[in-house]
Structure 1
Amino acid sequence: YASMNLAKVGNSTKLKSFLTPWASGEKVFAKAPFNTPWRTMIIANTAGDLMLSRLMLNLNEPNKLGDVSWIKPGRYIGIWWAIHMEKYTWKAGPTHGAKTENVLRYIDFAAKHKFSGVLVEGWNQGWEDWKDFKFTEPYPDFDIKKITDYAKSKNVKLIGHHETAGNTVNYENQMSNAFAYYKKYGVDVVKTGYVGGKLDGKQPHSSQYGVRHYRKVIEEAAKYKIMIDNHEPVMPSGLQRTLPNLMTQEGVRGQEWDAWSKDGGNPPEHTTIIPFTRGLAGPIDFTPGTFNFTNPVLPNTKVHTTLAKQLALSVVIYSPLQMASDMIENYENNPAFEFITSCPTDWSKTVVPDAKIGEFVTIARRDKATDNWFLGSITNKEARTVKLDLKFLDSNKKYKAKIFRDGKGADYESNPYPVIIEEKEVDSKTILSVDLARSGGVAIILTKL
């Protein structure tokens, strides 16, 4: 079915709905009788309660894949940010990012810090013109067997990449062989991309044509027990309940906009809004984790946060597959990196102690594997003091709180780097008072004693 859109009617509070049409103008092709999708409205007492609703997810059909024990959340790294910073290139050449020796270096770093995988873009033929990608033909300097054998020995996975440039016909003609090729080498996660204009130069992404294509990709991947991270998607609608190998999707102004957007990048309030807009639709592959705020390619474009806020985003923005996006050199020997390497992506419970859309967000999540809690609190361009009520902790239990907060003089524009790391003993009756810098944040690990 075509994706539904909402548009404001003039200056009123009315919204008008419309379906994204095919290139030929038709909205939907269907054979009667047929069922239309659910239309929902979430109404809650607080902003936080909006985030906790599972209404849309649960209106989707249950899991149709059967045994899904092969589906594994995780946190990964990749060569992607270095390509945006023009240290490497997607296409083959002297500074090709996907060279075997460079990928092995990233795998070593991932193994050292217990990341689950390494995403490698620009490994296959076709990046010269972004048109005729070949999904089973690597560049000569990318030795996939050597890389995946080495990764396996380090307990790290190669995360695959299929950039299509929106050429869906070319992709569908190769898709089965492409997934089989990756499966042969033990690759079980693939990031798909559709950078460019309309699909095949004519069909809107959110049309029925696009919706059918994206679902076909997810279903085909499932045959090979491959998980999908879908970029440039149709707006999510809870399909991951039916097809759980759909792990996460973009569909948002992600952190990559802070690398190349000529409008300067995402504003400070951006991440205090999207949990209540795009975030209500499902997991977001936002790719937080920037530690170096200098942009040599576009000096006036940058990440508009403090470093502490980057840490907190690992909790605030939900994605069961989440990337620590920066270059590995920028993580080395930085004590704040401990929060990212400690923070899981698979949760048993989420609470929203306090939030005001566009101003600040505080979210706490409990790790499914350990019962430890992780808390992230962020603010917009206004500095503020937040009161963090820890009443969600188990009563009559003590916890060690390891706090990563904005340091003295921290400011997203003039000095985003200062971070203070401290430890306190807390319990469910504790209320922590923390000063957040402008576009700042605090990230906390709560370990039961």
Structure 2
Amino acid sequence: MDFEETFTSPNETLTLNFTMDSGIPGYSMSYNGIEIITPSELGVVFSEVDMSEGLILDAYEISAYDETWSQPWGEQKEIRDHHKQVKFYLTKNVTGEKMNLTFRLFDEGLGFRYAWPEQKGLQDFVISDEVTEFNLAGNHTSWWIGAYQLNRYEHLFNETRVSEIDTVHTPLTMKTDDGLHLSIHEAALTDFASMTIANNGHNTLEADLVPWNNGDKVRGSAPHISPWRTIALGKTAGDLMTNYITLNLNEPSKLEDTSWLETGKYTGIWWDMHLGTKTWGSGPDHGATTEYTKELMDFTAKHGFYGVLVEGWNTGWDGDWAANSDIFSFTETYPDFDIQEVTRYADSLGVKLIGHHETSTGISNYEAQVEDAFDLYNEVGVEAVKTGYVGDFVEGGEWHHGQFMVRHYRDIVRKAAEHKIMLNVHEPIKDTGIRRTWPNMMTREGARGQEYNAWSVDGGNPPSYTTIVPFTRGLVSPFDYTPGVFNLLLTDKPENPNNNRVMHTLAKELALYVVIYSPFQMISDLPRNLEAQPVALEWVKAVPTDWETTIVPEAEIGDHVVVVRKDRNSNDWFLGGITNEEAREFEIELDFLEAGKIYEAHIWADGDEADWETNPYPLERTTQELTSETILELDLAKGGGVAIRFAEMD
């Protein structure tokens, strides 16, 4: 062994063992004395030099950091960044190339990244492989979706032992037989290929970088850095959900002024198209008309929501729009949509038009127009834009997850910030915490959302899906799942050969506004369906989208989850609880409430005989007084849920 040293996190909860063995760097990790990562190799292979072996450790340095910073919006206002850092300086034997390897040790996990300082030997380099290993101490239960599939990240999650996984996307979430939860992911993905995880057998996992279409993994020039490779830990599933090391490993905000950022709830000309009652393209059933947009704006203003998303307003949607990547215009409207009139009308009501840019993966076409498109939105007062990238490949066969698209997504976020525009990105790159650096990156898709309930050939998202996604895709938040469908059986749908429906109760649909976090939450359904359920609509109007604190008192991945969040702008707390196909009862301690205060609990719960499959609509609205010492009993129907507002009483 050339070198071996042990380092600990601030409270010595986590232990890192770093080694140099015959010129090969490696690490292992323990948590509370339990081995999590067994000896694993580190390094990167360039086309011209192998920086995974034949290395010399020149020096290392240790530092400590402890700071609390505030999110301008988010699920947790104040976040503590408390870690120890160890930086190793490595040199390639004989040829002399330099590489630094930095670890940050938190009590709840670690991150590490590679850096290549400026040097002549690594100009215009190509990375052909990353050999980073995550060798696990056990054959854990895991939740995952396969990488290198068509349809991007939009798949149902598999639950298997680690030994059965394929090459998978991150976050890769696992649970040990002893009940510890962990997730492998990455942070600060900026100019690099997205990392997937390959199964090498015997609980040995390895980083697998999504390549360019010619096989290159990463292209760059020194100085250059990789994203952080992260391992987040939690004693419970809830601890994992409130683990913020991904955000802490991103750079602070580049926006000096964040006062223009706003959270809220929105309606839209969107669900109509998924039901098949209106079209994106022009014609007699065109959705994006001035008249229909004004109707939606009337509804939106009446109920106090932020704005109206309008899809299909711009030319290029006619025919097979998913193949129209080169003909979309992002400034020319269809004749029946007057953007100046629509935004003038919105201003008169105190609501906003939410813009939409669907590229159909026509990246060059979009990049050539995006400045003019953002200028148009600035001119008419659009502050938030939903972007889309429907298609399996982009620009000559590039993956959505490779370096080509990572660069594009980051460039659009920066340009949007320059125009003071907030983004909601669909068909995105996965979230790696970039919202800390660019907080106008508000929310994104990146998983199966509500629309699958409208047309998916498998009938829609099963009841267990929303009990899994908060601990997989949702770990790095936010997720524009687009809840708010009240017509659960989709009786508006003209044709329904796959028996599509929303596979849960109405109370569960309400609970998703707390369980699945997004600073922009959609109220998806048609206004007539929403107003036909005034009790349910009352909850949607009341629930916030910006939080001060988040806790998770009950959770078992795939079974159930109870999330509690405190409103950032009041003393009210909100609870959302959901279950899978099974009915469940819980007793929840309310010690998060302020001691000595009396609260009125407004409860939206599954009504008598509610059942996701046979009777999804019964909804019971009750109130009761309680305190922090109350033990609250929750009764969830099959596929059901509960939504509660705890309002402080005078």
User: Shorter chain as normaliser: what TM range?
Assistant: over 0.9
Decide which of 441, 463, 477 is 1:268's aligned counterpart: 463
Structure 2: where are the runs of 5+ without partners?
1-191
CA-to-aligned-CA distance 1:246-303 (integer Å, 9 cap, x gap): 0001001111111111011111111111111111122001111110022333351221
Decide which of 469, 475, 478 is 1:283's aligned counterpart: 478
Q: TM-score, normalised by structure 2?
A: 0.68
Alpha-carbon distance in 1 for matches of 2:552, 2:392: 37
Alpha-carbon distance in 2 for matches of 1:170, 1:33: 31
Q: What are the within-5 Å matches in structure 2 for residues 131-170 of structure 1? A: 131=324, 132-170=327-365
CA-to-aligned-CA distance 1:392-423 (integer Å, 9 cap, x gap): 10110000100000011111111110000000
| Alignment match, 1:14 | 204
Q: When you count strand as a share of all residues, which structure comes out higher?
A: 2
* Amino acid paired to 2:606: D
SS at match of 1:61: coil
Q: TM-score, normalised by structure 1?
A: 0.98
SS at match of 1:233: coil
| Alignment match, 1:399 | 599
| Alignment match, 1:350 | 550
Decide which of 320, 327, 338 is 2:519's aligned counterpart: 320
Decide which of 332, 337, 340 is 2:531's aligned counterpart: 332
Alpha-carbon distance in 2 for matches of 1:47, 1:15: 22
| Alignment match, 1:377 | 577
SS at match of 1:192: strand
| Alignment match, 1:2 | 193
Larger Rg computed on CA atoms: 2
- Runs of 4+ residues over 3 Å off in structure 1: 7-10
Alpha-carbon distance in 1 for matches of 2:474, 2:641: 19
| Alignment match, 1:27 | 217
Decide which of 534, 559, 563 is 1:363's aligned counterpart: 563
| Deviation of 1:239 (Å) | 0.4
Alpha-carbon distance in 2 for matches of 1:49, 1:294: 35
Decide which of 251, 256, 259 is 1:69's aligned counterpart: 259
CA-to-aligned-CA distance 1:227-246 (integer Å, 9 cap, x gap): 00000011110000000100
SS at match of 1:388: strand
Alpha-carbon distance in 1 for matches of 2:585, 2:367: 52
Alpha-carbon distance in 2 for matches of 1:302, 1:201: 37
| Percent of aligned pairs sharing the same letter | 53
CA-to-aligned-CA distance 1:306-350 (integer Å, 9 cap, x gap): 000000000000001111111111111411111111111000111
1:92 has 2:282 as partner: yes
Decide which of 420, 427, 434 is 1:225's aligned counterpart: 420
Q: When you count helix as a share of all residues, which structure comes out higher?
A: 1
Structure 1: where are the runs of 5+ without partners?
none
| Deviation of 1:366 (Å) | 0.7
SS at match of 1:136: coil
Q: What is the CA RMSD across the aligned residues, in angstroms?
A: 1.1
Alpha-carbon distance in 2 for matches of 1:292, 1:333: 9
| Deviation of 1:13 (Å) | 3.3
| Alignment match, 2:385 | 190
SS at match of 1:82: helix
Alpha-carbon distance in 1 for matches of 2:248, 2:349: 38
| Deviation of 1:137 (Å) | 0.3
Decide which of 321, 343, 366 is 1:171's aligned counterpart: 366
Alpha-carbon distance in 2 for matches of 1:201, 1:190: 26
Alpha-carbon distance in 1 for matches of 2:351, 2:361: 30
SS at match of 1:393: coil
Alpha-carbon distance in 2 for matches of 1:305, 1:24: 45
| Alignment match, 1:42 | 232
| Alignment match, 2:400 | 205
